[in-house]
Amino acid sequence: MGFEILKSRPVDDSIDIDALEKKYSFHLPPLYKLFSSCFYLGEEYIFVEKYWSKKHNDFFSLQSYNFYFGDENIGFSYFVPPEHAFEVYNSGSLSDFDYEQSYFPIAGSSGNGLYVGTRGELIDKIIWDSGNGRLVIAENVFEFVRSIHVTFIEKKYLYDEIDQSELYKKHSETFWRLAP
């Protein structure tokens, strides 16, 4: 369900994951490595319906992305580009536990982030740091993405508390506007 929010990376615009692994002396698990090479990752590449707010002179999201794990609704924002994730991992900013377990940061979420396991029984598993511990929430990144639900944000949570029925798009635009 969630693959429609991602932008595919054409074959002629490949990313050299092997070079990043060599540079940082760290290897990504196989399925996450494949995923990273097949899709553009980063906030600017995730598809989201947006509207233009004259009041704030800015764009705002009309949608949210959610992954449900039991009763938990795990808000998801975007996947971190591999180059940035390697820099974060190499910076020493993760917890000692994350380094001991070889958890590699892949995305922001409600809680403290999403990671991919990189060794042993946790290889390729998606791990959520809920703030109260870490939980395996998907067997791999493909299962995680397939399970993302795209929902429209309720009126009371939008910046301008607008009715979506008041929005329109011009023919060539990729964003919505508030009707005058």
What pLDDT was estimated at residue 70? 83
The answer to whether the CB of 122 falls within 8 A of the CB of 101 is: yes
Among 73, 75, 71, CA closest to 61: 75
CATH number among 1.20.120, 3.40.1580, 1.20.140, 1.10.1200, domain 2-48+69-152: 3.40.1580
Give me the residue spans of the domains in the chain.
2-48+69-152
What pLDDT was estimated at residue 40? 93
C-alpha angle 4/6/12, rounded to 5°? 120
Q: What is the pTM of this model?
A: 0.82
What pLDDT was estimated at residue 156? 79
What pLDDT was estimated at residue 109? 64
What pLDDT was estimated at residue 36? 95
- Spans in the chain with pLDDT lower than 70: 1, 95-97, 99, 109-111
